[in-house]
Each structure stands twice: as C-alpha cells, then as structure tokens.
Structure 1
Amino acid sequence: MDFKQVLLASLLTISLLGCQSTDTQTVNPQISSHPSHHVYKLEFEFAQRLKVESINLSQTVSDYCAANGDLASLKQQWHRTMLAWMALQGQQRGPELALAQSWNLQFWPDKKNTTGRKMHQLIAQPKRWTQAEIAKQSVTVQGLGAMEWLLFDSASDLTTNTSTCQTAIAISHNLARNTSEIARAWHTNPWLNLDEKQWHAEYIALLSNQLDYSIKKLSRPLANFGHPRPYFAESWRSQASMKNLQANIMALQALYLADGHGIDAVLRDRGKANLADRIVNQFNTMAETWPSDQSVFVLLQTKSGYQKVYAQLNKLEQLNYLIHEEVAIELGVIIGFNATDGD
C-alpha cells in the first residue's frame, strides 16, 4: 500500500488502540466558519493518524518482544509511523504544545552519529528502562530515529537480547505518549483569532516552513558539489529518505488544496488561475517523477545518482519560490525568514 492509500485509509477510518499513557477517546475537530477551518481539519487528521500509527508501533514492538510478531511486520509499522510523521514534520506554526513536543520525535540531522553513540550507551546499561525514564533522556534516544537504529543498524542486538527489546518497548511507549500529546494539542484550532490577511500570512508561512525543512533534507546530504555527505540523509539506515520526502510533498499538496478551500481556491477567486495552475502542475510533476524506490544515501554513491537528487532539490526549490514569493505577493502578505533559516 503506497502513502496515498495509507493516508486516505487513515483519514477515513481512524481506530484508536489502547496503550500506556494514551487517550483512547474518539474526538472530532473543532468546528468553525473561520477561513482556516479546512487546513486545521487536515492538521487534526494528520495528528490523529500519527497518534494511531505510534500506538500501533508500540503494540507491535510489545508483540514482537513477546514472540508474538515478526521483525518484518515491526519494520513495516515503523515505516508507517515515520510516513505519518512526515505530514507534521518541520512545522513552525500551530499549537505551542504540539510544536514543543515535536522536537522529541526526531533528531536530525545527525552530523556526528550521536544517535548511534547514545543508543550504544543506553542499551549497555544493566537496567530495565521505563517510558518515564526514557522521557528524561536525550532526544536522540526518545524518537523515531532511536527506533530506526534498533530495527535497522547492524550494531543493534534487538533480535537476540531481551533487555534491548525492553528498551525498545519503553521508547515506543514514549513515542505513543508524545504523539498523543500532539494529537490532543490539535483538538482546538490555534488560528481562530486571526483575521483573513493574518491567516493568509500564517498559511503561507506554514507551507513554506515545511517546504524549507524538506529542502534541507536534500541540500544537506548533497553538500558542496562533488563532495556529498550521505550520512546526513534522513533515515539512511532504513533507506527510506525518498519515501519520506514523497510523504512530505503529498501532505503539503493536501494542505495547499485544503479540500477546495485552500490557497489554490483563494488564488482562483482572485483571478490568478495561472499561478494556481503552475503550483498544482509542480505538485503533480513531482508526484509523477519522484524516485521513491531509491534512497538519498544510495543515490549519492554515484555521479548520476547525485544528479538525480539534485534534480529533486530543484523541484522543491521551485515550488517553494512559487509559494513563498509569488503567492505571498499576490495575497499582499509579507513572510519573514523561516524559523529554520540559519540552521
């Protein structure tokens, strides 16, 4: 099942599974007539999906460690959770609680293999880690990157060491707890006090921040021309970097369209159909040509692969220009520097 099918299925039927320290009560998005409502509703659904996949991951880890599951299924559930995270990754707009908690979900870029070193230290300690104890540790051992190390790194002894399996359970429970907090933060619309112009500025910044983050996921491993840094690629251990970026793009497209009530509709209502068409075409072109079956890490090993990654970077930068520059001008809003600038 590809990301689009997973996303649609998850948004249509969200079944919440119980887990330690999680909220199992089904909730609905806050209803309003504010112009931000359809974007907010998508964010609410993205956050609920991330919560569900994280809870599923926690249950799958527990099943595996109890010898009731297999490693392939566990890896698949990790991938599903990672794809769900891509819809919210890189955000600098939204509920403060959600933004604060999101830092605990992923440590990247890992410039000095900090995740590897910290995970080695963690599993080397002769103790039974709990979720509460993991929550007090470095962010490098709390999130999706820590789970990736356990599942995909050759140095992990998850398959042979029951103590390491218990550590994986604690980390997965912590992920479920943190994503439940993010989902709870999205129970209310954070933009209801903005007027239309303020909302447009916030909306464009929301898209631009996430696009900027996606751009950095390619520009950092590309580095200086001819001198790539493949270990700067996201999810290099699982070889999932391009699939992750495809999920980023699809979530951004959904936010841009917002079920016919997004910036696309605003532009068309203002007689700017040409610009709206260019943006839609850019999204569609990326969707049709994105090399999701390959990873940045592998591609950067060859000259032709480097060129392919660079071509994808150009596509993202063109989309960012259209939204951050041209749309902002047409809507008469000023967008400041992205929160990730200078990073």
Structure 2
Amino acid sequence: MKTVNVVATSAVMLALVGCQSSTQEGSHAQANQAQTNGYSHTNGYEHSNHMSQSVYEVEYLAAKNFAQQADQLSKAFGVYCDNQSSEDAIKNQWHQTMLAWMALQGQERGPEKALEQSWNIQFWPDKKNTTGRKMAAMTSQSQSWSPQEVSQQSVTVQGLGSIEWLLYDSASPLKGSESVCHTGYAITQNLANNANIISTSWQENPWNELDEKHWRSEYISLLSNQLEYSMKKMSRPLANFGKPRPYFSESWRSETSMQNLKANIAAMQSLYFAQGSGQPTSENADGLDQILRESGKHQLADSITKQFELMLETWPTEQSLFDLLKTKEGTKTAYAQYNKLEHLNYLIREEVAIELGIVIGFNATDGD
C-alpha cells in the first residue's frame, strides 16, 4: 500500500485553501451591521479583533478544506462509476478526505450546526461492525439510492466509514454492480452536503462574545477534547494489556489508522500555534504557545512544542494499528505512541490548566 506524507499533504491542502479567493458573503447592509458590532466578513469568513481570531481562522480553513475534499470525493466517485478513473484514484481521494476530517474530528467546541454533523461524517467506534452489517444490507437491495434517501438512513451508512467499506471490504459488491456504485455516489453526495454545512457554520466566529477567561477555557478545552479523542482511538484497540481488540481500530479496512493519527497530531499542532491565515488581525490573536510565553511560562511552552515535534518526527505510519496489534513487538510500538499522546495530554490538561488557572470543560468521551 502506498503511504502518504500526512504533514506535507495537510500543509499543502491548507495552503491551497488559504490562497483561493471567495466571494464576499452577505449584503452590504449585513456587512455594515457586522462592522458596527466590531467584526466584518471578507473572503467568506469573519474578521474581528477578538482574541480568538487566529484560532477561529485555523478552524475555518480546516472546515473549508474538508468541504472541498468531500466535494472532490463526490465528483471522483461519479467519474469512477462512469468507468473513467481507476480504483486507486478514488481510494486516494477518499484518503485525502479522511485526512482533512482529522482536523475537525473529536471536537466538542464550535458552531452547534457543525458539531451536529460529526456522527453523520464518521461513525466510530463501531463496536459491533454495524457499518459492515448495514452496508451489506443496503447494497443487497436492487435499488439505487439518492442522496436524500441516504440522508434519512442510519449514520452508519452515511459517512466516511461506509465509503471505506465499499472501497476496501472483501464483502463489498462495488466492482460488479452499477446500482451499488451509484449508491456509493449518492453517499458521497450526501457526505459533501454535510461537509458543506460544517464549512458554512464556520463562516462565523462562535467565540466573539467571550471574555478572556471564558475564551481561554474554551480554547484549551477544544484542544484537549481533540487530544483525548485521539487517545481513545488508540486505547480502545489496545484494550486490556495482552488482549487487544484490533477491529476497534479506526480505518482498519484501509490500513490507514496510524496515518490518520499523525494527521490528528499535525492538526492539533496547528491549533496550538494558531497562526490562522498568517496575518492575525490583532495583537491578542495568539495561539496557546504565545499565551504561555506572554505569561512567562517559556519552559512549559518549550516542552509542548518539543513534544509535538517529537511525535511528528517519530510517529510510525508504515503499518496500521490493526497490523501492529498482531505482534508483541508491534503492540509495544503502539503503546509507545500512546504514551506520547498521554504525555502531551498531561502537559495541556494538567500543566497548562494549572499554570493559567483554567477549568477545562466537559468532554463527551469522559468516562467512556
């Protein structure tokens, strides 16, 4: 299987997003009202002097990138069904879409309409192979589903996991059935629609009204929630020591789980530095690294920076987590990576919270 340079890919995609121009959103009356309230819309997203601006821009660009990749996946699937592209091409675009999703995965903070789409985008963990069973039942029917009909079905057949099943599972009838291919196309269209809802929801900054104390709590909770979700993606398959559950691994069919996790880390690193578009609109538009340094916590900031660098430099992507858990040596490697995530979690959830006097908000995975 070809490996993908996750960090380079993510960087290129985000750079492309940042370079692309968009039409100005809203009427002149709306723009004038926004300016009166201290912010404005240009290039499709909100600009303000609020301290959350650079973090907001990171999230906006990630959401836009994901919507673009999902749209490309839908188009690519249509081309594939018309026998005008290879299986490798559609698999590659699915993977690019999955990597783009990693920047938004596990979030518990942000626009409500965006967060509501999470299960529609990805059903995980799939403890009982519900996706496999539902997709097998769906594709055994003779009908070709429409995007609207797909949207009314279980979330297990709507998201990235269902497309992975079609492309990679040995039970998938994709290659031999025109109706199944059109069903897959409908699933990708529905996915693109949901991704667009997420992107549109991020056109406005959900944090503009927060004061400094509440904003910092929200920001660190956003980062902490995503980090803990990534840890869950390893702890669930690792399970009890010596008794792993490899089928709980994310993307085990495509063998890309460790690549996904590296993309998670790269996305969290971007969120930590929060450089946004590269041109913050105010002196307060800083990431957590800058907040720590301005608070005199240089050693802690250095520790977090070095931990991100270490993880990205040493994270293994040649084997999937599913494959690693097949051997004792591979399991040791997996535990070593989990420990890196755990240390980063300690630095952020404990050290940062204590040093800045911040209470981290509730995480939906707590106690799960």
Fold agreement, TM-score > 0.5: yes
Are residue 230 (structure 1) and residue 252 (structure 2) matched? no
1:83-122 aligned at under 5 Å gives the runs 83-122=99-138
User: Which residue of 2 is the match for residue 47 of structure 1?
Assistant: 63
Q: In the TM superposition, what whole-angstrom CA distance separates every residue of 1:151-206 from its partner, at most 9, and x where no partner exists?
A: 00000111111011011000000000000000000000000010011111001100
CA distance in 2: counterparts of 1:60 and 1:27, whole angstroms: 27
1:7, CA displacement in angstroms?
A: 2.1
**C-alpha offsets along residues 262-316 of structure 1, whole Å, 9 cap, x if unaligned?**
0100111111100000000110110111001210000000001011101111100
Work out whether 1:36 is the aligned partner of 2:61: no
Is residue 5 from structure 1 mapped to residue 21 from structure 2 by the alignment? no
Quote the offset at 1:9 in angstroms. Answer: 2.2
Distance in structure 2 (CA, Å) of the matches to 1:12 and 1:335: 31
* Runs (4+) off by over 6 Å: none
Letter in 1 for 2:323: V
Match of 1:254 among 270, 289, 301: 270
Structure 1 contact 102–182 (Cα < 8 Å) conserved: no
Gaps of 5+ in 1: 17-25
Instruction: Write the letter of the residue equivalent to 1:52.
Output: Q
CA contact (8 A) 2:10 2:99 kept: no
* Structure 2 match to 1:136: 152
| 8 Å Cα contact 1:118-1:141 kept in structure 2 | yes
CA distance in 1, matches of 2:163, 2:259: 17
3-state SS of 1:159 partner = helix
Q: Say which SS state the counterpart of residue 364 (structure 2) adopts.
A: coil
1:214-241: per-residue Cα shift (whole Å, max 9, x none)?
0000000000000000000000000000
Query: What's the offset of the Cα at 1:27?
Result: 4.3
Task: Give the structure 2 partner of residue 267 of structure 1.
Answer: 292
- When the two structures are superposed, what TM-score results if normalisation uses the length of structure 2? 0.89
Contact 2:218 2:361 in 1 (8 A): no
Residue 171 (structure 1) aligned to one of 164, 184, 187: 187
Question: In the aligned structure 2, how far is the partner of 1:267 from the partner of 1:125?
Answer: 57
CA contact (8 A) 1:53 1:77 kept: yes
Mapped partners of 1:124, 1:336: distance in 2 = 44
- Kindly report the root-mean-square deviation, in angstroms, between the aligned alpha carbons of the 2 structures: 1.3
What letter is aligned with 1:312? Q
Aligned partner of 1:302 in structure 2 is 327
Deviation at 1:331, TM superposition (A): 1.1
Which among 314, 325, 340 is matched to residue 350 of structure 2? 325
Partner SS state of residue 31, structure 1: strand
1:290 and 1:312 in contact (8 A); partners too: yes
Render the CA deviation track for 1:72-126: whole Å, top value 9, x for unaligned: 0000000000000000000000000000012200011111111100001101112
Any stretches of 5+ residues in structure 2 without a counterpart?
22-41, 279-285
Give 1:311's aligned residue: 336
Question: What's the CA shift string for 1:243-264, capped at 9, x where partnerless?
Answer: 0000000000000001282010
1:220 aligns with 2:236: yes
Q: What one-letter code is carried by the residue in structure 1 that aligns with 2:336? A: A
- Counterpart in the other structure of 2:39: none
1:123 and 1:326 map into 2 onto residues whose CA distance is 50
Taking the aligned partners of 1:28 and 1:317, their CA distance within structure 2 comes to: 37
Matched, 1:127 2:152: no
SS of aligned partner of 2:124: coil
Pairwise CA distance, 1:143: 0.2
Q: Secondary structure at the match of 2:299?
A: helix
User: Matches of 2:256 and 2:128 in 1, distance apart?
Assistant: 20
Q: What is residue 86 of structure 2 aligned with on the other side?
A: 70
